[in-house]
Structure 1
């Protein structure tokens, strides 16, 4: 019964991950996100840490039946099956994470660090998305965007301390979190898109979802 209930709960997010097509107009799952740009000791960008806090409706359904010992607490071990399913599905979509360097999309490594926490009646998933090849930020601009291109899952940064840096960032570099587009800017973008033909693509071969995603950048002085 527990596994059956958990599978039903996961189906909501799995359906969201599996959906495709431009007809999708509104999200079914909401996520509040914060992230860290990770540097190694040599000052190279190696990964992006992500923390997703899910909306209450999805969270309550997702955890239903996972309290195996009935103590009213959802431990990391009890949440591990849900975490594994989350990560397995997210892998098929590159974890909704796009990292670019000088405009070029970068290959991602496999996520090996992940976990899920239930605290203060909130369900949060944390994981690290590594780059296959570390990047030297002094040689160009690094841009990271996290979003669902089909808009089934709304992923928005928290207002307070949304992004930070971990590790040895070069002294000539700084973290810049570009602002969320205003309603007027969104409408302007939508109006622009309505004038484009079916074969039109955004710059750098991005998809339509990227146009509305909030960018995180590392910018360095020459």
Structure 2
């Protein structure tokens, strides 16, 4: 049986499309290398903002170029780049801009970024944006921060641990990059999985479980 799911095709002429896929066909179609910088408050006691940089693969980037190069000059001018950025901004809104932020296992609400920036470098599309927590995120307990696409359509990868950074952590905190093993992740979450996952992974939180995360662990001062 074919299953309908909404899949994000960032920066296409249509903000979002419906893709019809079979369960065995659920896999990424768009690939991006990412960098994430966690910005702390001036007193270094809370998370102030997240800065994201995504560099997309050549094939997707060329598709974006063709879609948005209205004057066919093989480059995107400022107005065309703004249209790309605005399209991506609108498309990702319902997916929380692919952001994963949890505090002690509970989702942390993030404010939508006021805008996104788009650029091309070496013929690759680059998306940049910054977002802030809706309420101050204090450095206490375990905080996980990452990026994932709940539709499984886009694979956003941190190719090196150094691409996830936080500067100025207080001495009561530690940080590490966590790259879950898919088999172990499924085994650890087996009790919460249902047959629905194996029929349609896009209807579950599995891509969130698989996501690479920057894990901050902070202890109270004592």
Residue 187 of structure 1 is aligned with which of 183, 187, 197?
183
Give the structure 1 partner of residue 211 of structure 2. 213
* CA gap 1:208/1:219 in 2 versus in 1, 3 angstroms: same
Give the structure 2 partner of residue 28 of structure 1. 29
Give the structure 1 partner of residue 104 of structure 2. 102
2 CA distance for matches of 1:209 and 1:47? Answer: 23
1 CA distance for matches of 2:20 and 2:74? Answer: 37
2:216 is paired with a residue whose SS is: strand
Residues 13 and 29 in structure 1, CA contact (< 8 A), matched pair in contact too = no
Q: How does 1:1-222 map to 2 (within 5 A)?
A: 10-11=12-13, 14-15=16-17, 23=23, 25-43=26-44, 44-64=46-66, 66-67=68-69, 73-137=75-139, 139-159=140-160, 161-165=162-166, 168-178=168-178, 180-181=179-180, 185-190=181-186, 196-198=193-195, 207-222=205-220
Identify unmatched segments of 5+ residues in structure 1.
Answer: 1-6, 201-205
Scaled by the length of structure 2, the TM-score of the pair is: 0.77
1 CA distance for matches of 2:21 and 2:144? Answer: 25
Residues 99 and 145 in structure 2, CA contact (< 8 A), matched pair in contact too = yes
Instruction: Describe the superposition over 1:27-60 as per-residue Cα deviations: whole angstroms up to 9, x where unpaired.
Output: 1111111101111212210222111111111110
Q: CA RMSD in A?
A: 3.2
* CA gap 1:9/1:111 in 2 versus in 1, 3 angstroms: closer
Identify unmatched segments of 5+ residues in structure 2.
Answer: 1-8, 198-203
How many corresponding residue pairs?
Answer: 203
* CA gap 1:80/1:42 in 2 versus in 1, 3 angstroms: same
Scaled by the length of structure 1, the TM-score of the pair is: 0.77
Give the structure 2 partner of residue 203 of structure 1. none
Say which structure is richer in strand. Answer: 2
2:183 is paired with a residue whose SS is: helix
Superposed displacement of residue 119, structure 1: 1.1
